[in-house]
Amino acid sequence: MDVFAKFLNYMRIVFVSLFGLLSLYSQAADSLVLNKQGDMIFDNLSKSIEQSRVKNSKENFDLLNDYRKFYLEDEKLDYFCRENSAKLYFKNGLERDEFYRTIMATLQYKMMTYSMHAIATYAKKLQFDSEQYDNLVRSLISKCSQNITLMGHRLIKYHFDNYFKDEGEIFLPIDQRKKLFTDKLNKLQSENEILVNELYYTTGIFSHACSWGGQVEYPRELSKFLSSSAVMSFIIRELSGLDTYSYDDKLSDKKGALCRNQICRPKEITKIQNGIIRPVGSANLNFDFKLAYCEKFRFSSPKYSTEVSPELVRALDEFKEERPRLIGQFLALVTRIPDFNVWTHDSKTIKDYISLSNDGLWDFWASDYLKSNSKKLSYEEALVMQVDKEVNNYFVYHKSFPQINFNVLHGEFDKASDINNMLGLHFDINIPRTDIKWIYEQYKIAHVGNDDKSIKKLKERLALYVENDYKDIKDTLMQFSVNADLTQIITDELFRQFDIIELPKGEDNRQLKIGVNIRIAPFALVAIRNKRIVSDLSSRDLSEIKSLETLNNIDSMASEAKK
């Protein structure tokens, strides 16, 4: 299941971002690669919004851009857990549980709020009468814990009834279908079939949330959502007061839950931040929430106390094997981007969704590319060499040390190439630790004081070190059509990186090596080879012409001598 889920998640990030065609929950690939691919996709798409189909409106583009950012936060949280081994410490077990309980109750609040509004709206669209709706609601509430403090059973029933009457109707994920999907995709399933399936999994979301009674050690079915990095990255950013990239409507209410003495109540985020019990030495709540996920919730599993009736456990077992679809539907409600994996269990239909999306993506790209380039008569695209700031930033943020990366590209396909598929050239810039430390410290002082003259002199000093090592590889780089002098570019990039790192401290005067990588993409490599062949042939032809001219001159001189 994991391999299939990873594949579908990759397809979702690429294809939904362009057409809104795919959406499937799972753990995804490396965040750096996704960042690079996503930026390239959205940069290209934004330039052609006016020329593209009506469905790619500014509104839809912004929606899909937020959707991409939402899932990148999932990747960042997963990476944070892999890279951080810090622990949270509390004065006692009661304070620890209250901190964790607030996070769990906020998740419970979000799941119940979204699902109750959605269930009422689905019921309206499916034309439930009052009796049918009332039976559904009573069945759902019967699965709620008797100890739930966030909302009592009567208050839950009141909200359900209110939302069904006139106050609770919301924009559903399925409502995006006509805006984002192609006509071929929309014909794969009927609207009623999709509504029924989305409603079914939304009832599962409510039941899983409502099953939790407030005990930290017994998360019950809430654990399926607590262990999801995609879900918890949303909850953590909500509690931290950051942009969650969720769909902006009345459900994005900037509220959560605050727990004190084992009783939880809905509160505004600012009040939660002021009232929550913090870990010992806490300086940043967002960091604390992330550590809580990594340490406590990441591997959470369903646990019940002995007091829970077997009937309730059996009732919740209805969704035992449906974790990905439950999470997929919850995230669809949060982002309002549909998850087609919720719509069907049929493998052939899922395959059709993927293949039609793939075909549509290619057709759109080809058509758009022809429209924008049909009037251009260029013989070939130029070789482009550029600083790869994405890779540079990735290295700098995680290693706290400078590194310079260049990419040599040729055309659109090279822009989409993975850096692992490129030919790499490498050399080091050697600088004594004391020298670079002095330059770094003087730059910080000059930068704060806006002393441009001092900054210019510091750049000139650093450029001497760069030039000293760069000249040794310059001839080699010229063989790969790198004819420009990179000294100033490397120097400027190093100073840019000085703004975002703290250089490691040390008193010794040993040489520090700053790596410079030049990666040549596949099509650029072919272009360089062809250019080299043409150059060699041209040189040979020129040599032959000069030899022929010399012979002609000799013959002419001989003829003149005979006269």
Examine residue 545 and state whether it is found in any structural domain, yes or no. Answer: no
pLDDT at 330: 96
Report which of 394, 450, 331 is spatially closest to residue 70, judged by C-alpha positions: 331
Euclidean distance between CA atoms 376 and 402, whole angstroms:
40
- Torsion on CA atoms 446, 450, 452, 457, rounded to nearest 10: 0
Q: Which of 40-44, 63-67, 170-174, 480-484 has the lowest mean pLDDT?
A: 40-44
| Overall domain count for the chain | 2
Q: Do residue 148 and residue 94 come from a single domain? A: yes
Residue 150 lies in a domain: yes
State whether 335 and 439 are in the same domain.
no
With cut-offs at 50, 70 and 90, classify the pLDDT of residue 307. Answer: confident
Place of tokens 């000085």: 498
Query: Phi and psi for 302 in degrees, rounded to 5?
Result: -60, 125
Supply the pLDDT for residue 505: 66
**DSSP character for 450?**
T
The values of phi and psi at residue 244, to 5°, are: -95, -10
144 and 288 assigned to the same domain: yes
My answer on whether 154 and 237 are in the same domain is yes
User: How far apart are the C-alpha atoms of 523 and 415, rounded to whole Å?
Assistant: 10
Contact between residue 500 and residue 393 where contact means Cβ atoms under 8 Å apart: yes
Decide: helix, strand or coil at residue 502.
coil
336 φψ region: left (φ > 0), alpha (ψ -120 to 50), beta (else): left
Confidence of residue 544 (pLDDT cuts 50, 70, 90): low
Res 435: pLDDT: 87
391 and 311 share one domain? no
On whether both 220 and 125 belong to a single domain, the answer is yes
At residue 167's C-alpha, the angle toward residues 163 and 171, to 5°, is 85
pLDDT digits over 378-404, tens only? 556 677 888 888 888 888 888 878 899
Which has more confidence, 451 or 156?
Answer: 156
Q: Taking residues 404-425, report their average pLDDT.
A: 79
Separation between Cα atoms, residue 355 and residue 349, nearest integer Å? 10
How confident is the model at residue 56, as a pLDDT?
57
In a domain, 74, yes or no: yes
Alpha helices, DSSP H only, in 48-149? 58-83, 93-125, 130-141
First to last CA, the chain: 95
Residues 324, 424: one domain? no
| Least trusted range by pLDDT, from 179-183, 197-201, 442-446 | 179-183
Any domain includes 30: no
Per the DSSP assignment, residues forming a β-bridge with 265 are 258
The residue type at 226: L
Residue-level pLDDT at 480: 67
342 and 388 in one domain? no
Judge if 103 and 240 occupy the same domain: yes
Compute the mean pLDDT over every residue in the chain, rounded to the nearest whole number.
Answer: 81
Tell whether the model's pLDDT for residue 416 goes beyond 80: no
Which of 346, 374, 398 is at the close of a domain?
Answer: 346
Cβ(16)–Cβ(67) below 8 Å: yes
Percent of the chain residues past pLDDT 90, beyond the cut = 34
Q: What is the pLDDT of residue 486?
A: 84
Q: Is the pLDDT of residue 125 over 70?
A: yes
The band of 116, judged by pLDDT with boundaries at 50, 70 and 90, is very high
Looking at residue 49, what is its pLDDT? 45
Give pLDDT, residue 233.
Answer: 96
pTM over 0.85: no
More reliable by pLDDT, 278 or 410: 278
* Integer Cα distance of 186 and 435 in angstroms: 64
Does residue 335 belong to any structural domain of this protein? yes
Name the pLDDT band for 40 (thresholds 50, 70, 90).
very low
Per-residue pLDDT for 92 more than 90? yes
Instruction: Indicate the pLDDT class of residue 510, thresholds 50, 70 and 90.
Output: confident
pLDDT tens digits for 321-359? 888 899 999 999 999 998 888 888 777 887 877 777 777
If 0-12 CB within 10 Å is exposed, 13-18 middle and 19+ buried, where does residue 29 land? middle
The most confident of 14-18, 19-23, 26-30, 522-526, by mean pLDDT = 522-526
Distance (Å, whole) CA 170 – CA 123: 12
Write down the pLDDT at residue 499: 84
In this prediction, residues 495-500 reach a mean pLDDT of: 86
- What is the rounded distance in angstroms from the CA atom of residue 20 to the CA atom of residue 41? 13
Tell me, yes or no, whether 3 lies in a domain.
no
For the chain, percent of residues with pLDDT exceeding 70: 79
Average pLDDT of 26-32?
A: 36
Minimum mean pLDDT among 190-204, 236-250, 476-490: which range? 476-490
Residue that has been written with the tokens 């272009």 in this structure: 527
What's the farthest any 2 CA atoms get from each other in the chain? 126
- Structural domain contains residue 351: no
The pLDDT of residue 38 = 43
Lowest mean pLDDT segment, chosen from 407-421, 522-536, 541-555: 541-555
Which one of 300, 331, 346 terminates a domain?
A: 346
Confidence (pLDDT) at 14: 41
Average pLDDT over residues 40-49: 45
Q: Is the pLDDT of residue 63 over 90?
A: no
Read off the pLDDT of residues 133-176 as tens digits, 9 standing for 90 and up.
Answer: 999 999 999 989 989 999 999 999 999 999 998 766 788 988 88
What is the mean predicted confidence (pLDDT) over 59-75?
Answer: 87
Average pLDDT of 176-192? 82
447 pLDDT band, cuts 50/70/90, is confident
Q: What sign for the dihedral angle of Cα 365, 370, 371, 376?
A: positive
Same domain, yes or no, for 245 and 103?
yes
Whether residues 329 and 401 share a domain: the answer is no
Domain boundary among 319, 346, 373: 346
> 502 lies in a domain?
yes
Is the pLDDT at 47 greater than 60? The verdict is: no
Q: Does one domain contain both 143 and 62? A: yes
Q: Is 406 helix (H, G, I), strand (E, B) or coil?
A: strand
- Strand 384-387 with 404-409, pairing: antiparallel
Segments forming the whole domain that contains residue 281: 56-346
- Whether the predicted pLDDT of 199 surpasses 70: yes
